[in-house]
Amino acid sequence: MPDDFQNPHPLEPDVSKSLLPQSCQLVIFGAAGDLSWRKLLPAVYNLNIDGVLPTHFAVVGFGLPAEGHLSSDPDEYIRGRAKDGITRFSRQPLDESHWADFARALFFVPGSFNDARAYAQLKAKMEAVDQQFGIPGSRVYYLAVPPTLVGTCVEHLKTAGLIADPQELRSFTRVIVEKPIGRDLDSARDIMRVVGACFAESQTYRIDHYLGKETVQNLLVLRFANSIFEPLWNQKYIDHVQITVAEEEGLAQYDPKTGEMIATRAGYYEGVGALRDMVQNHLLQVLCLVAMEPPWSLKPDVVRDAKVGVLNCLRRMTPAEVEKNVVRAQYIEGDIQGRRVPGYRKEVRESFEVMKKPLPPESVHSTTETFVALKLFIDNWRWADVPFYLRTGKRMPKRASEVAIQFKDVPPVLFNAQPEVPLDPVVLSLRVQPEEGLAMRIASKLPGPKVHIYPVKMEFNYSSSFGGTSPEAYERLILDVMAGDATLFMRRDGVEAAWQFVMPILEHWERMHVRDLPEYQCGTWGPVEADRIIVPDGRRWRTL
């Protein structure tokens, strides 16, 4: 941030998120896994570098590493794993002078999630760490595990006496549950019921890392701190909204030097697909912030009430509407930035070979979708008949996420009187990644004696305006949990409402029993079939 930057309008205490992170242990279940390696441990390291972690703090990992990877000293295993992940993925480079201090607070307990003896060992380790670091018994359990293991973990935590009463004043216990919560409405309810039997709702943080991104958080500020937008934020002035989340990566990550597969999500993603993985949580949560009514306060449950109100107003699709308004597809071999990459089915096979696991029979001819595009409507007064176009896909030309608000055309008079050359519409676009910021495209006159209209762009970029790089989403969200701020986390009724919207789509797909999906080459913006849900409306997908 520039030295001369000052906040001229400090917010009131209940708005400023002024709660400070409290002393605790962050206990990562699945610490040997991909999410911990790529995201969680680098996030904690960055928080340490920035000096925002509480004074009394430590990380304890729990889980089973891949066979043959655990050294004789479990603590050294997690420290090596963390150092490798930080070197590869951290937004701030590894600082050797800082590393030793950070590493001394990393510990690991090897054990199976369904082994009661391992939880006894975990308890003994945490008590020893409490004494070493002066931590008052407070815990944040991060369940970086598949949905099927969430219930097992929380029940063993309860049996082992590792969950404090929510009324306890001296210490606290909180649990972070990773998405997706279940694979359908019934399984989500089962998971939330088991978690609810062990943790109070006030102790439960259902995480969606997209809500921790600066631009996503800025949506509320943009809407409710600028008087020019909110009066226009409705069906009278907005033509349509597009929300795009494009991923350059596929299932696997490869070492750029050797070409060797170094990580894969095939074990999780195969059989899950883009609708469950991205639409049901990420895209619908962003949609809520775009479309919600103004909350009367920024207290967590007031904001979450407003978001659930949007989900409850989503128009449920009939089977005929699913066919008309939803497109799914799967990537095939293609080129991304001059590099040849395999198709989805081949990547699944190679991933299971690397994991040394048998390929499930249904995965030989997998119909797991890696791309979804859909058109939906919000049936309330503000958004009646305004289409929202959502799309997400893997192996697209680049990593990019955007919310684009397209305003209605000006009347066909004056400068827009020639139907063969209509004016470009005004578009407000919010870039969520990779370069966080926003832009507005407006019409302007070209210099010269004649009147020629040309679209120009007004832009704001976080890094150039405020300096440095924005914190990663996981950094912000982990801090919020340690501070007890649930604003950016999903509430139980919100999870159910999102699944209720998605279920008619999933159920229709299951009844269809298709053998092959539409295909798109790696390095393209998706299948041609995606155009059929937007082009007949006289609109087109934005090029990012």
Catalytic residues: 282
Ranges of H-type helices in 356-426: none
**What single DSSP character describes residue 144?**
-
List the one residue out of 139, 210, 83, 289 whose CA is nearest residue 477: 210
Residue 294, CA distances (Å) to 12, 66, 384, 431, 470 in order: 18, 48, 17, 22, 26
Give the single-character DSSP code of 422.
P
Asked if 204 contacts 166 with a C-beta cutoff of 8 angstroms, the reply is no
- Among positive and negative, which fits the CA dihedral 343, 344, 347, 353? negative
Q: Which of 345, 361, 210, 215 is nearest to 280 (CA)?
A: 210
The Cα-based distances of 50 to 98, 233, 466 in angstroms read 11, 37, 16
Strand-pair category, 334-336 with 339-341: antiparallel
| Token representation of residue 188 | 């989500």
Helix/strand/coil for 13: coil
Amino acid at the residue 177: V
- The answer to whether residues 166 and 200 touch, using CB atoms and an 8 Å cutoff, is yes
Identify residue 254 by its one-letter amino acid code: Y
Q: Which residue has the tokens 């305003």?
A: 407
Q: Where are the beta strands (DSSP E) in 367-479?
A: 371-376, 388-393, 400-407, 427-433, 437-445, 453-461
What would the two tokens of residue 486 be? 């649930």
